[in-house]
Amino acid sequence: MKTEPARPARGLFPWIEWGEGELSFLGKREARKECEEILESLFGVSRSELYLANPPDPKAFPQFVAWIRARKKRVPLAYLLEKVSFWEDEFEVERGVFIPRPETETLVEAFLKKGGFSRNDPFYFLDLGTGTGNIGGTIAKLFPHSQGMASDLSGRALAVARRNAERLGVSNRLELVQSDGLPAFGEQVFDVIFSNPPYVASQEWETLEPEVRWEPRQAFVAGEDGLDFYRKITGELSCLKQGGSFWVEIGGGHEEKVGALFEKSGFRAIEVFKDLNRIDRVIGGIGLHG
């Protein structure tokens, strides 16, 4: 196998073929898709333009090679592109910050269906452990009369979330706060709390895909059984108003135990929502009555 691709004579097709071979561990279809995404980002062209006869500036070709080699070392694609798609927008992401997943869109979709608010209703929400700000930013954009706070323990994550909020045009309605858990909010009272918390059992960390282990461990691991966050947070809901709702992402197989914690906390109704793979992914605790 060639160690570097030859300079293309017609479009970028030879480069895509080379990159596809280097990323064969992904499977042919996914390898080609990632090569195309890298080139789209690198050259600022559409997918159809990648195959035109006149290639873009060849000075950028070494960067393509460097990114393919980094991806071969299992660096997440989102870290190379410094962006990731979520809902209907692109969010900036950088190394050391948790990468949003498509599965988390289930949380937004569930709230839209069962949250009890119309697009024009005002409400006050918290996005706990915001990461890139993908949940809080999306909710603020979808509900233009809402106000919210987004918190994270990581200053790096908050800096990224702040830039994303500005890009989405919601920074005037989404306050970014560095904190660890709900007690930091004191007398604040929220109508809704959202969170995509850590929920991986500690012994499972080393078994995860190599790409995942480039991300911050604390964003994934939550004790021996992956339930530490839920135990802690369901005992700290004093800042959620009576009648309020709590929406969290869960790991596969956690629905019964997390649901029991929600029930103990005093929610009127508890609903479980499946993601596109038919896996129980989100729990909504609705109508807190203490």
Active-site residues, by number, are: 98, 196-197
Angle subtended by helix axes 28-43 and 13-22, to nearest 10: 130
Q: How confident is the model at residue 55 (pLDDT cuts 50, 70, 90)?
A: low
CA torsion sign for 57, 58, 60, 65 is positive
Would you state the structure tokens that stand for residue 142, as one six-digit string?
A: 């979808």
Q: Give the tens place of pLDDT for each residue, 153-202.
A: 999 999 999 999 999 999 999 999 998 888 888 788 999 999 999 999 99
Confidence band of 11 (pLDDT split at 50, 70, 90): low
| CA 148 to the chain's CA centroid | 18
Confidence of residue 9 (pLDDT cuts 50, 70, 90): very low
DSSP letter at 179?
Answer: -
Q: Above 60 in pLDDT, residue 1?
A: no
> Within its chain, how far is the Cα of 203 from the centroid?
23
Query: For tokens 């990159």, what's the residue?
Result: 19
Token output for 154: 């990581």
pLDDT at 144 over 70: yes
Tokens representing residue 93 in the block? 């992401």
Segment 123-136, tens digit of pLDDT: 999 999 999 999 99
Dist. CA 68–CA 2, nearest whole Å: 13
At 170, list the tokens: 């919601």
8 pLDDT tier (thresholds 50, 70, 90): very low
Contact 171, 165 (CB under 8 A): yes
CA distance 52 to 13: 9
Give bridge partners of residue 152 from the DSSP assignment: 178
For the stretch 205-260, pLDDT in tens is 989 999 999 999 999 999 999 999 999 999 888 899 999 999 999 998 899 999 99
Q: What is the pLDDT of residue 62?
A: 87
Band (pLDDT 50/70/90 cuts) for residue 56 is low
Identify the structural domains of the chain with CATH numbers, from first to last: 13-73 (no CATH), 97-288 (3.40.50.150)
53 pLDDT tier (thresholds 50, 70, 90): low
Q: Both tokens of residue 136? A: 């809080």
Is 283 in contact with 259 (CB distance < 8 Å)? Answer: yes
Q: Give every CB contact of residue 24 below 8 A, 6+ residues apart in sequence.
A: 31
How confident is the model at residue 253, as a pLDDT? 87
Contact predicate 186/219, CB 8 Å:
no
Question: Could you give the C-alpha distances from 227 to 21, 58, 128, 234, in angstroms and in order?
Answer: 40, 50, 16, 11
Question: What was the pLDDT predicted at 54?
Answer: 63
pLDDT at 262: 94
